[in-house]
């Protein structure tokens, strides 16, 4: 059928295309059928919803559709039912445990981007990969296909450095310090980051406290070519869009098959043109990677995949068994990072990690002789050159470079948990800390989070403060306190772990 | 939040729950998030859609929701975001290849029925089963869980007979004849059937040409207790509702894992209270089951599953290599079945199959001595007793018992395909015949379909009619003709199968 576009003020999280019941009957379209709308070279697939909120001859589209193509009210488009996408055959091939060809993977990825494959089919693909795996050749094909079906950045400065930290460790604002150090040394590092998905703050959430992180690819190109760095939110860009759609499904199933994790990370790097990539794998209890053995195996995969993509990859396995620094939550972390950049000093776990990683990047990029990277990185940080570069980043991205740590608003509803016994801190539970910070409102409430007063190994006396919860509202604070009491995320040697009552 | 129900005239094929952007922000609900609405004992899960088509404080529901629970406009309900359902853990367990416990399967099925698991999660479950399989204990648990989470029928007549034909063979109106024969012999057979999904006519579509097939469970109980039989559409009933939701996903992936097929068929039988079940497995090229080996293995599984469910199952492997009878499509098949019932005579492939299957049921139910079932069934058919019972069924279900074959309207736009050579018919391609009948408009256009003029083994001369396409509109007829020319579904010995031109 041909019909007139009507933009509806509805967001469904998927692409919804509304047609009138009369049209549906005439064109034999049933609710949730896959349909295609097209006009000239623009086309997109979506799910048919049927109802009287559009007239006969009108084709309603949810706002989600506009994020893909700009259709305008009243525009005439054609709509047709779509059959089962060809790529379903290849998904079934992976279910049978067979290896997929490059062209088959490309077809799947193209169909995901076109929304021809919806969550149901993507879920089958993700499940098949979870069960039957992908070999390195398939992962490389997937990575390239994901990158090439989205926008690509071409920065006219070489070499392009990049860093990525595997998630799971709360308080990991390290890259907010690494990036300005590396750029201050004259290297180019167009850093894109994600927002928190299951954590209390992603790097993009933290940087957003200091400056704008939602930029276009053109703005990024201009800024990076001018000052050598950026710290932006990758989600605002159309980099490897298939990845976001797959991650949505993985998250709902709490799956994270290795092949997809590798492809997901490296596709974004490939799209941004990164040539020298440092992968940080925080390893330890409560991190995404818990054992050294797993970390080493993952490291080998990253290096091997990089080779196939023409990228030089190094991997740093770092300690991820407790939070980095003393703060968790966007504003608290931004404050800690800014203080560290301004003074050149900060918590050991943060500073040592940042200059260690930055040093490796300096060596990889030829800005420091082998073995001297960390020393030079420390000098750049301590002499204020990293802070100077951070000011440029903040300013170019549209923020106020004069922002001071004390300007950053922190949630003023607070509650402090105290030690109930004397002893040494033996463990800080990453997952517990994250859960409490999220319950307090992070990452949506920027000022919410946790300030730790102790780290593992510290000696405490009964009554000493262990950590303070910050929230922006009393109700969130109350919920976080309840959770904190239940989880007791900081363990002290000699502490009674559980009391079994004699009922 | 609490809000006022607003019923929206929208069908989405899933459960959609609309909230205003202000409420969404306040309650931190994102598009497509899983949310729960409840009021008293009624609750249901659905996908959050966000938009201004509802006011702040209103909770819009798509019409699909009303098929589960009767909510009324203005009713106050509570809405809350739902986390990841517990049953996702068990789906992941099946992904790891582990055996599921009864209670785990029950939780998955319950969550499917509550719509807590949506297509994305169901797809992961179906994929895991496709890859890792289910053992017989799991299949039995799944069958019972699917039946018990829906409505169950308790008919006060014993024994309850039932028959099910595995699909794939066009023109299979056999059970329209089997059911009245069995009931005419005094046995009880509450037959529910499906509509066509991928075929040109399901038994329910065929019977609907003769009488109403959309009945409530109460009406079915009354009718079956009175006359011993019914021929109704199972989809109108809430029998094993989880099955329909899984089948939707299987269909989109064109998957049909054996464990789910067995559970799907037997759950409906279990819910309707069937005790003696005959499974008809049409076997041959282009049928769902193509080899005798596969048919026998499937037969053993049906019998074994029946034992675990307390049902006595027999299996008939029948010839499924070409269409049954001479007609394909709802009205054409209804006409052929009615003629056969009225005259006691009809195409050999139809009559012999019908009395063969009916005979087995008579023996299973004790209405015929072992080895005499077919003779008695033939007698019942030829003496008009089956037709008399069919009249009762038609009348009780709300149709006109005096309906004559010539009253049935058949699509009057026709086109006949003729033999291009002399020879014997060596094959009739089931899939091709189905595809052409569907292209002509079946099953939605009841009068559309195909009338065969020949069957396998017939001798034809060049120019003899092979089959006639019937359609209700010229445009559908044209499309069907194009497809028929391309597919050439009837093969004649000596026919040139393809010409390679010398270009």
In a domain, A60, yes or no: yes
Q: Do B32 and A10 touch (CB under 8 A)?
A: no
Q: What is the pLDDT of residue A493?
A: 82
Residue A92: list chain B partners with CB under 8 A: 253-255
CB A46 within 8 A of CB A21: no
CA-wise closest residue to B274 among B197, B364, B189: B189
Q: Identify the domain boundary among A38, A58, A81.
A: A81
Whether residues A210 and A292 share a domain: the answer is yes
Span A77-102, average pLDDT? 96
* B120 lies within 8 A of chain A by CB: yes
- Minimum-distance CB partner of B13 among A31, A131, A132: A31
Span B352-367, average pLDDT? 95
| CATH number of the CATH domain containing A61 | 2.40.40.20
* A53 lies within 8 A of chain B by CB: yes
- Residue A285: pLDDT band (50, 70, 90) is confident
- Which listed residue (A64, A244, A256, A464) is catalytic? A256
Residue B18, Ramachandran bin (φ over 0: left; ψ between -120 and 50: alpha; else beta): beta
Residue A84: list chain B partners with CB under 8 A: 252, 254
The pair of structure tokens assigned to A230 is 């950026």
What are residue A425's DSSP bridge partners? A492
Per DSSP bridges, beta strands B76-81 and B42-51 are unpaired
Q: What is the pLDDT of residue B446?
A: 97
Burial of A154 (0-12, 13-18, 19+ CB in 10 A): exposed
In a domain, A146, yes or no: no
Q: What is the pLDDT of residue B72?
A: 92
Question: How high is the mean pLDDT of chain A?
Answer: 95
* B95 lies within 8 A of chain A by CB: yes
**pLDDT tens figures, A384-425:** 999 999 999 999 999 999 999 999 999 999 999 999 989 899
**pLDDT tens figures, B148-159:** 999 999 999 999
**pLDDT tens figures, B257-313:** 999 999 999 999 999 999 999 999 999 888 899 999 999 999 999 999 999 999 999
Q: Do B255 and A444 touch (CB under 8 A)?
A: no
Strand order in the sheet with B312-319: B161-165, B276-283, B312-319
Q: What is the pLDDT of residue B462?
A: 93
| CATH number of the CATH domain containing B446 | 3.90.1170.30
Domains in chain B, number? 4
Q: What is the pLDDT of residue A197?
A: 83
Residue B97: list chain A partners with CB under 8 A: 131
Whether residues A365 and A252 share a domain: the answer is yes
- Minimum-distance CB partner of B11 among A14, A31, A252: A31
Whether residues A63 and A127 share a domain: the answer is no
In a domain, A503, yes or no: no
Longest dimension (CA), chain B: 77
* A73 lies within 8 A of chain B by CB: no
- Residue A301: pLDDT band (50, 70, 90) is very high
A12 has binding-site annotation: no
* B64 lies within 8 A of chain A by CB: yes
In a domain, B282, yes or no: yes
Q: B443: cis peptide before it, omega within 30°?
A: yes
Q: Which parts of B209-318 fold into alpha helices (H)?
A: 217-227, 241-252, 258-272, 292-309
- Residue A364: pLDDT band (50, 70, 90) is very high
**pLDDT above 70: percentage of residues in chain A:** 98
Which of helix, strand or coil describes residue B229? strand
Whether residues A428 and A384 share a domain: the answer is no
Whether residues B67 and B181 share a domain: the answer is no
What is the spatial distance between Cα A498 and Cα A476, in angstroms, rounded to a whole number?
A: 26
Q: What is the pLDDT of residue B168?
A: 80
Q: Do A14 and B8 touch (CB under 8 A)?
A: no
Could you give the dihedral angle defined by the CA atoms of residues B484, B485, B488 and B494, in that order, rounded to the nearest 10 degrees?
A: 150
Q: What is the pLDDT of residue B472?
A: 97
Span A375-387, average pLDDT? 98
**pLDDT tens figures, A231-254:** 999 999 999 999 999 999 999 999
CA distance B483 to chain A (A): 16
- Minimum-distance CB partner of B53 among A10, A92, A254: A10
Tell the residue number behind the tokens 């900060």, with chain if given.
Answer: A346
CB B353 within 8 A of CB B372: no
Q: What is the pLDDT of residue B83?
A: 86
**pLDDT above 70: percentage of residues in chain B:** 98
Query: Any residues with CB less than 8 A from the CB of A185 and at least 6 apart, and which?
Result: A362, A365, A367, A368, A376, A377, A380
Q: What is the pLDDT of residue B385?
A: 98
Q: Identify the domain boundary among B370, B396, B422.
A: B396
The pair of structure tokens assigned to A175 is 């890259």
In a domain, B500, yes or no: no
Span A68-91, average pLDDT? 93
**pLDDT tens figures, B249-272:** 999 999 999 999 999 999 999 999
Whether residues B64 and B181 share a domain: the answer is no
Whether residues A40 and A117 share a domain: the answer is no
Q: What is the pLDDT of residue A44?
A: 94
Which of helix, strand or coil describes residue B428? strand
| Inter-axis angle of helices A102-113 and A87-95, nearest 10 | 120
CA-wise closest residue to A48 among A71, A24, A13: A24
**pLDDT tens figures, B199-245:** 999 999 999 999 999 999 999 999 999 999 999 999 999 999 999 99
Span B435-464, average pLDDT? 95
Question: How high is the mean pLDDT of chain B?
Answer: 95
- Residue A379: pLDDT band (50, 70, 90) is very high
The pLDDT of residue B484 is above 80: yes
Residue of A nearest to B82 (CA): A252
Phi, psi of B291 (to 5 degrees): -120, 150
Residue-range definition of the domain harbouring residue A470: 413-492
How many other CB atoms are there within 10 angstroms of residue A383's CB atom? 12
**pLDDT tens figures, B411-423:** 999 999 999 988 8
Could you give the dihedral angle defined by the CA atoms of residues A93, A95, A97 and A98, in that order, rounded to the nearest 10 degrees?
A: 10
**pLDDT tens figures, A4-52:** 999 999 999 999 999 999 999 999 899 999 999 999 889 999 999 999 9
In a domain, B141, yes or no: no
Residue of A nearest to B444 (CA): A28
What are residue B252's DSSP bridge partners? none
Whether residues B424 and B349 share a domain: the answer is no
* B40 lies within 8 A of chain A by CB: no
Whether residues B380 and B448 share a domain: the answer is no
The pLDDT of residue A173 is above 90: yes
- Residue B503: pLDDT band (50, 70, 90) is low
Span A85-108, average pLDDT? 97
CA distance B69 to chain A (A): 19
In a domain, B156, yes or no: no
The pair of structure tokens assigned to A461 is 């006396």
Spell A243-265 as b/e; 16+ CB within 10 A means b: bbbbbbbbebbebebbbbbbbbb
Q: Identify the domain boundary among A65, A81, A97.
A: A81
Query: Any residues with CB less than 8 A from the CB of B7 and at least 6 apart, and which?
Result: B60, B61, B63, B66, B71, B72, B73
In a domain, A497, yes or no: no
What are residue B161's DSSP bridge partners? B276
Which among A55, A253, A255 is the top mutation candidate for probing chain B, defined by the most B β-carbons within 10 Å of its own β-carbon?
A253
Longest dimension (CA), chain A: 77
Tell the residue number behind the tokens 């499974």, with chain if given.
Answer: B279
Q: Do A92 and B51 touch (CB under 8 A)?
A: no
Q: What is the pLDDT of residue B497?
A: 55
**pLDDT tens figures, B305-349:** 999 999 999 999 999 999 999 999 999 999 999 999 999 999 998
Which among A16, A25, A27, A32 is the top mutation candidate for probing chain B, defined by the most B β-carbons within 10 Å of its own β-carbon?
A32
Q: Do A123 and B128 touch (CB under 8 A)?
A: no
Q: What is the pLDDT of residue A457?
A: 87
Whether residues A327 and A182 share a domain: the answer is yes
**ipTM score of complex:** 0.89
**pLDDT above 90: percentage of residues in chain A:** 90
Residue A88: list chain B partners with CB under 8 A: 252-254
**pLDDT tens figures, A450-480:** 999 999 989 999 999 999 999 999 999 999 9
Whether residues A61 and A16 share a domain: the answer is yes
* A483 lies within 8 A of chain B by CB: no
CA-wise closest residue to A451 among A461, A465, A462, A463: A465
Whether residues A103 and A38 share a domain: the answer is no
The pLDDT of residue A497 is above 60: no
What is the spatial distance between Cα A3 and Cα A23, in angstroms, rounded to a whole number?
A: 10
Rg of chain A (C-alpha set): 25
* B253 lies within 8 A of chain A by CB: yes
CA-wise closest residue to B326 among B418, B428, B464: B428
- Decide if B243 is catalytic: no
CA-wise closest residue to A326 among A196, A159, A451: A451
| CATH number of the CATH domain containing B114 | 1.20.970.10
Which among A251, A252, A441 is the top mutation candidate for probing chain B, defined by the most B β-carbons within 10 Å of its own β-carbon?
A252
The pair of structure tokens assigned to A122 is 């993507």
Residue A12: list chain B partners with CB under 8 A: 16, 31-32, 47, 49
The pLDDT of residue A495 is above 90: no
Phi, psi of B449 (to 5 degrees): 155, -155
CA distance A444 to chain B (A): 9
Q: Do B31 and A53 touch (CB under 8 A)?
A: no
């Amino acid at each position: 059928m041909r019909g007139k576009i009507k933009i509806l003020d509805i967001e469904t999280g998927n692409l919804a295309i509304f047609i009138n019941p009369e049209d549906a009957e005439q064109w034999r379209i049933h609710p949730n059928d896959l349909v295609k709308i097209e006009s000239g070279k623009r086309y997109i697939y979506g799910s048919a919803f049927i109802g009287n909120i559009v007239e006969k001859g009108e084709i309603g589209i949810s706002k989600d559709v506009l994020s893909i193509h700009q259709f305008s009210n009243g525009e005439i488009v054609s709509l047709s039912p779509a059959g089962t996408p060809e790529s379903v055959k290849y998904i079934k091939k992976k279910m049978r445990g067979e290896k997929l060809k490059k062209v088959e993977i490309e077809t799947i990825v193209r169909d995901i981007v076109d929304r021809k494959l919806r969550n149901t089919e993507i879920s089958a693909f993700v499940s098949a990969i979870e069960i039957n795996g992908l070999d390195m050749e398939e992962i490389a094909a997937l990575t390239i296909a994901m990158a090439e079906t989205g926008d690509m950045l071409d920065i006219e400065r070489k070499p392009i450095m990049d860093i990525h930290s595997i998630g799971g460790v709360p308080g990991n604002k390290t890259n907010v310090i690494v990036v300005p150090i590396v750029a201050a040394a004259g290297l180019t590092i167009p850093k894109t980051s994600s927002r928190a998905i299951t954590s209390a703050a992603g790097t993009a959430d933290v940087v957003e406290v200091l400056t704008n992180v939602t930029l276009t690819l053109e703005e990024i190109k201009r800024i990076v070519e001018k000052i050598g760095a950026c710290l932006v939110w990758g989600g605002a860009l159309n980099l490897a869009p298939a990845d976001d759609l797959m991650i949505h499904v993985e998250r709902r199933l709490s799956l994270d098959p290795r092949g997809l994790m590798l492809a997901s990370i490296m596709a974004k790097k490939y799209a941004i043109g990164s040539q020298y990539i440092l992968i940080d794998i925080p390893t330890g209890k409560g991190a995404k990677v818990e054992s050294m053995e797993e970390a080493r195996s993952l490291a080998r995969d990253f290096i091997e995949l990089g080779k196939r993509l023409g990228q030089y990859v190094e991997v740093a396995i770092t300690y991820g068994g407790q939070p980095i620094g003393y703060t968790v939550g966007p504003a608290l972390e931004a404050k800690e990072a800014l203080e560290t950049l301004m003074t050149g000093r900060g918590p050991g776990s943060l500073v040592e990690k940042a200059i260690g990683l930055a040093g490796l990047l300096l060596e990889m990029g030829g800005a420091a002789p082998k073995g001297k990277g960390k020393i030079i990185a420390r000098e750049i940080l301590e002499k204020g050159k990293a802070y100077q570069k951070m000011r440029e980043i903040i300013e170019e991205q549209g923020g106020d470079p004069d922002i001071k740590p004390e300007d950053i608003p922190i949630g003023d509803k607070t509650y402090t948990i105290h030690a109930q016994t004397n002893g040494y801190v033996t463990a800080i539970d990453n997952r517990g800390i994250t859960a409490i910070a999220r319950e307090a409102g992070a990452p949506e409430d920027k000022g919410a989070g946790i300030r730790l007063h102790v780290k593992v190994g510290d000696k405490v006396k009964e009554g000493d403060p262990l950590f303070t919860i910050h929230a922006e509202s009393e109700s969130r604070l109350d919920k976080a306190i309840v959770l904190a009491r239940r989880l007791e995320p900081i363990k002290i040697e000699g502490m009674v772990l559980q009391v079994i009552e004699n009922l």
